[in-house]
Amino acid sequence: MKGTILATNHQSVEGTCGNSGPGWQKAMKQAVRNGYALCDQLGLPHRFASAAAEQDFPVFAPLEYIRRMQPGNPQDPLLLQVLGMQREMEDQGSGLLDPVGDEAAQRAEGVLQKYKRRVLLITTGACAIHCRYCFRRHYPYETAPKGKAGFSRSLELIRQDAELDEVILSGGDPLTLADETLGWLVDELCQIPHVRRIRLHTRLPVVIPQRVCETLLDWVRRSSAAMYFVLHFNHAQEIDAAVSAALADLHRSGAVLLNQSVLLRGVNDSLEAQRDLCLALVDRRVVPYYLHQLDLVQGALHFAVEDAAAQALVASLRSELPGYAVPTLVREIAGQASKTPL
Ligand SMILES: *Cc1c(COP(=O)(O)O)cnc(C)c1O
Ligand code: SF4
């Protein structure tokens, strides 16, 4: 299997908020789409970018995110998450295309179930950013159902299975869908009596915080199922005033806010980076949930941190922070009944 994340395809971004709306779709359209342009934005020489890496997985970074990077710093922790680099080409023999067994977990097209009581819907292939370490960077998104007709089939499967009390909207990033579609989907899910919780896995409030607009907050507030947002911050530098305001709005709308990070060598693998991130999150009412060991996807192995170093890092974190501020260190092992705590 080899597919692509489709943020670079304009058609994959639905158009209701358009020009009159809050501007997040415009922000996606204006995103930087190649490494040379990204280097230009930051005053870095082009040699830091790699066209070969971008052929494998295109660069995609909104200006809102780039503005939080430090100009002239090739080691910037935000830049390293999005710039395609030559070192990605060095693990082509050993990295996996489907490291977490997504293909084997398909119950229907775009519906994954690995664990009891909860299913995950691949709602879209589009993301608001391309993270170089992404474990789904080779997922075959073309096969996922699209639009209301596609979701109707997934809804039918959920309706028929009373064991499912939680539905996870994932992707890609579900918040690249229009609020009209998401509001409809949430309303439909709320009408299924056994669905008690709806969870969204999203990076959009991190990347383009104006995505947390009034129309989004409307469908969050009106959900009768408990709403959980699992955000994806990797570094405290990702949190600025606009992001803080978006988090406050989401929290006031009644959603529970959790965060998952990926432990990334050179980005957030120091005690200082983890402590600053966890504190910045809990100050904003976001509970650190998981710290993921990297999935060994082809092109990302240079980000890997040894298990022993990861465990030592989390042990140090535990000695510095309140228990609720320390995420659980996990690895996803294909075929297991849950994520595996380390
Ligand atoms: C990671 C994942 C979940 C969520 O697991 P939790 O431990 O509940 O956060 C659910 N379904 C799939 C397919 C997953 O990959
Ligand atoms: S990590 Fe999430 S936001 Fe980043 S490219 Fe992968 S699916 Fe998209």
* Residue-level pLDDT at 4: 45
Give the model confidence (pLDDT) of 14-24 as tens digits. 444 444 455 89
Tell how far the Cα of 226 is from the centroid of ligand 1, in angstroms: 17
Ligand nearest to the backbone CA of 200: 1
5 C-beta closer than 6 A to ligand 2: yes
325's tokens: 């501020």
Q: What range does the domain containing 259 cover?
A: 1-342
> Taking the mean position of all CA atoms in its chain, how far away is CA 261?
9
265 Cβ neighbours under 8 A, 6+ residues apart: 302, 303, 304, 305
CB contact at 8 A, 213 and 21: yes
Q: What angle do CA 82, 83, 86 make, to 5 degrees?
A: 135
* Residue-level pLDDT at 63: 98
Tell how far the Cα of 153 is from the centroid of ligand 2, in angstroms: 25
* pTM recorded for the entire structure: 0.93
Structural domain count, the chain: 1
pLDDT tens, N- to C-terminus, the chain (342 residues): 334 454 444 434 444 444 445 589 999 999 999 999 999 999 999 999 999 999 989 999 999 999 999 999 999 999 999 999 999 998 877 777 787 888 888 999 899 999 999 999 999 999 999 999 998 777 777 777 778 888 999 999 999 999 999 999 998 999 999 999 999 999 999 999 999 999 999 999 999 999 999 999 999 999 999 999 999 999 999 999 999 999 999 999 999 999 999 999 999 999 999 999 999 999 999 999 999 999 988 899 999 999 999 999 999 999 999 999 999 999 999 999 999 999
* Residue-level pLDDT at 202: 98
* Residue-level pLDDT at 84: 96
Residue nearest to atom 1 of ligand 2 (CA): 134
Q: What angle do CA 240, 285, 288 make, to 5 degrees?
A: 90
136 C-beta closer than 6 A to ligand 2: yes
Tell how far the Cα of 337 is from the centroid of ligand 1, in angstroms: 10
132 C-beta closer than 6 A to ligand 2: no
What are 310-318's contacts with CB under 8 Å, separation 24+?
A: 310/263, 310/269, 310/342, 311/342, 313/263, 313/269, 313/270, 313/271, 313/274, 314/274, 316/271, 317/271, 317/274, 317/275, 317/278
Tell how far the Cα of 339 is from the centroid of ligand 1, in angstroms: 7
CB contact at 8 A, 91 and 301: yes
* Residue-level pLDDT at 146: 77
Best mutation site among 121, 168, 200 for ligand 1 pocket (most ligand atoms within 8 Å of CB): 168
Which CATH number do you get for residue 224?
Answer: 3.20.20.70
* Residue-level pLDDT at 1: 32
